Amino acid sequence: MAGEPRSKDLGKSGQLDFPRPLTTVDVVIFRISGDSLQVLLVQRPADEGEPFPQAWALPGGFVDVAKDRDLAACAARKLREKTGVTSPYLEQLGSWGSATRDPRGWSATHAYFALIPDDAGTLAPDARWFPIQGGRLKDKLAFDHGDILATAIQRLRNKVEYTSLPAYLMPAEFTLPDLQRVYEIVLDRSLEKSAFRTRILSADMIEPVAKMRRGPNRPAQLYRLKKGREPVYFVRTFNPPE
């Protein structure tokens, strides 16, 4: 059968006896803080022999065959190690592999992207949030992580046009203007208020909580994401205002 090891590839112990690529998982972790979309990066160690010493990179690392039952489990573990949280949304982004992306040898990485609220978790000491400006990161990253991040940003912006993904970036309780502002930050444009409100409420993805937000203006109804709610796919994209 195609893909199965041939007998000559097996050693006397039955183990595979040919070079195998390095296998890693990297996670693009997004949040909204203030008025900006941000990505979590980690600083690589300065130890001798480490590629790209002290450069910034996406959180990730080698698959642990003793701990990780699959690639998604590895991505979730890396997320917990760097933020202390389990993301409400984790999606596989794609795979990158070549003989040149890692100076240690032929390497393949499987990338995921995650969305977490601003107030979630405590960062590992080597981790820091970086703002995305104009749809891109200005800093140069290790390996091919700049390409992976650019793909993740484009994927997120494309899906926000027709899904409820920004709800996973929200705190436990929020107002409709809060949610609209997060959509606008990711899309980098304004949305029409009444049309946005109608679409979100008709999607049955959020529910009101029994309290209001008090402030200088009139009280605002607070909402929360419905428990266990899967992403909602809208029949139309958010059209730019005319």
pLDDT in tens, 65-90: 999 999 999 999 988 888 887 788 99
Rounded to whole angstroms, the Cα distance separating 54 from 46 reads 5
Residues 142-189 have pLDDT tens digits of 999 999 999 999 999 999 999 999 999 999 999 999 999 999 999 999
Pairing state between β 60-62 and 22-33: antiparallel
* pTM, entire model: 0.87
Average per-residue pLDDT in the chain?
88
Find the angle CA(30)-CA(22)-CA(57) to the nearest 5 degrees: 30
